[in-house]
Amino acid sequence: MEKSENVLSVASECAPLVKTGGLADVVGALPGELAGEGWRLRTLLPAYQGLVKRLKSAKVVWSVNKLMGGPARVVAGKTLKKDGSLDLLLLDAPHLFDRPGAIYLNSKGDDWADNPQRYAALSWVAAEIARTGLSDGWRPRILQAHDWQAGLAPAYLKYAGTDDVASLITIHNIAFQGLARASLLKRLRLPATQFVKDGFEYWGKISTLKAGLMTADAITTVSPTYAQELLDPEFGMGLDGVIQYRRDKLYGILNGVDLKAWNPKTDRDILFPYGPRNLAAKAKNTRALEDEFGLTPGDGPVFAIVSRLTHQKGLDLVLDGLPALLGRGGRLIILGSGDAELEAAFTKAAKTNRGRVAVHIGYDEAQSHRIYAGADVMVVPSRFEPCGLTQMYALRYGTLPLVSRTGGLADTVIDANEAAIRSGVATGVVVAPDSLDGLVRGIERMCDLFADRTLWQNLQKRAMAQPVGWGPSATSYSTLFKSLLK
């Protein structure tokens, strides 16, 4: 392109400012990756408590006296990250976002009662910026909405009759659909005429995700396999009919990882930097990790889980398969939080199997890096997985992934069957999703591979050579953006 074109990316979270999962990593990485393709992205986020103070060169570029119950303004500025800076727009609406606790949940762990208004406000402002621009003269040519929290942005844009700004919605996880009571129609500034099957009505409720799917000029998912899975009722979560209806606008673009932030050669969060030619240093990280988590050294591999602890992630299967893992001399480390029952079950397993199972309920970014560097196997047995970044980080660090054959996991990990090993392309072990027998066989296969040290190191080197960056995906996004402008 001869000149940079403007894109407004709107999301509920963005690393490094605020993060609950992989969505934040993707939203934080896209601006830098697409800048090289000739696109200037500004990212609109809610101004959660304390975020405005973290902006550099902050200035107000948009304001309104009343937005879903109170005044609001948009503050523009930059924030630093490991590999540069982010050009941010923060929606400063204290009545909606300036509150303690988690961004989606109250102190009791329940959704904030006004979440529909909070994220409708975010979407409304995104559409207004797209329609009229900012006071600094900036206006986007394309609006990209991420997940249900921004799902109303393309809808508001279309309902206003704006036809000189293209829109797309990116599905990171279709299981979360932004459902709200029909009685909120007026409060959310939605036209009653669109509360129909071909609009945003979903079993008598408003679905903000469906609103975006029905009105955006394009729909993207975070992996090619997930795009195909969404056409199937098993994975479409009740919206497969909508996806089928709009399949000619559906694109599967695989997520990538930040190769600068996730690089075992330069990672400041690990004790012993290493690369494929220095795997002895990775072994030192393993010993250090065992010490950090109080694991007894053993002959079997160190398995690890870095994840939200949910049914979707298939972690109940890991609990059921734990005897097989420990029986082969394996050890297990868990870092994550989520369902109370799973948290309690893993905590109990750690107490029952001291020295062999260790758990940290919560999340620590630096510790996650040490786990990727020190573990031998990263376990991702998801029942469904739109993309997944965990297995990509693991590949980057030579920690072989044990994954389910679904979504982005199937797109990024090559099973170490005999043919793949002979061809020199194997990077992990792939098993059937939602199958305890399959997971147990996967654990046993990993232990067998680990026992052959020469083979294991060859697999590690191949995993570390696997392309997991944004390069091809950034090009795919750029191609799609150009087609939308036409």
The CATH number of residue 443's host domain is 3.40.50.2000
307 shares a domain with 248: no
130 shares a domain with 57: yes
Residues paired with residue 7 on neighbouring β-strands, in sequence order:
41, 142
User: Residue 271: inside a domain, yes or no?
Assistant: no
- Say how many domains are in the chain: 2
User: Residue 270: inside a domain, yes or no?
Assistant: no
223 shares a domain with 100: yes
217 shares a domain with 79: yes
User: Residue 331: inside a domain, yes or no?
Assistant: yes
User: Residue 273: inside a domain, yes or no?
Assistant: no
Tokens 């001399």: give the residue. 329
Per-residue pLDDT of the chain (486 residues; tens, 9 = 90+): 556 799 999 999 999 899 988 899 999 999 999 999 999 999 999 999 999 999 999 999 999 999 999 999 999 999 977 667 899 999 999 999 999 989 999 988 899 999 999 999 999 999 999 999 999 999 999 999 999 999 999 999 999 999 999 999 999 999 999 999 999 999 999 999 999 999 999 999 999 999 999 999 999 999 999 999 999 999 999 999 999 999 999 999 999 998 988 999 999 999 999 999 999 999 999 999 999 999 999 999 999 999 999 999 999 999 999 999 999 999 999 999 999 999 999 999 999 999 999 999 998 999 999 999 999 999 999 999 999 999 999 999 999 999 999 999 999 999 999 999 999 999 999 999 999 999 999 999 999 999 999 999 999 999 999 999 999 999 999 999 999 998
**Taking Cα atoms as reference points, which of 221, 223, 224, 225 lies closest to residue 209?**
221
476 shares a domain with 460: no
d(CA 224, CA 254): 6
The interaxial angle of helices 365-374 and 279-293, nearest 10 deg, is 120
171 shares a domain with 88: yes
User: Residue 272: inside a domain, yes or no?
Assistant: no
User: Residue 475: inside a domain, yes or no?
Assistant: yes
292 shares a domain with 245: no
How far is the CA of 29 from the CAs of 26, 145, 164, 257, 472, in angstroms? 5, 15, 27, 8, 14
User: Residue 267: inside a domain, yes or no?
Assistant: no
Segments forming the whole domain that contains residue 438: 279-465
How far is the CA of 95 from the CAs of 117, 121, 335, 350, 388, in angstroms? 11, 11, 34, 42, 34
452 shares a domain with 477: no
447 shares a domain with 365: yes
139 shares a domain with 25: yes
d(CA 301, CA 402): 12
User: Residue 266: inside a domain, yes or no?
Assistant: no
Provide the 8-state DSSP code for 368: H
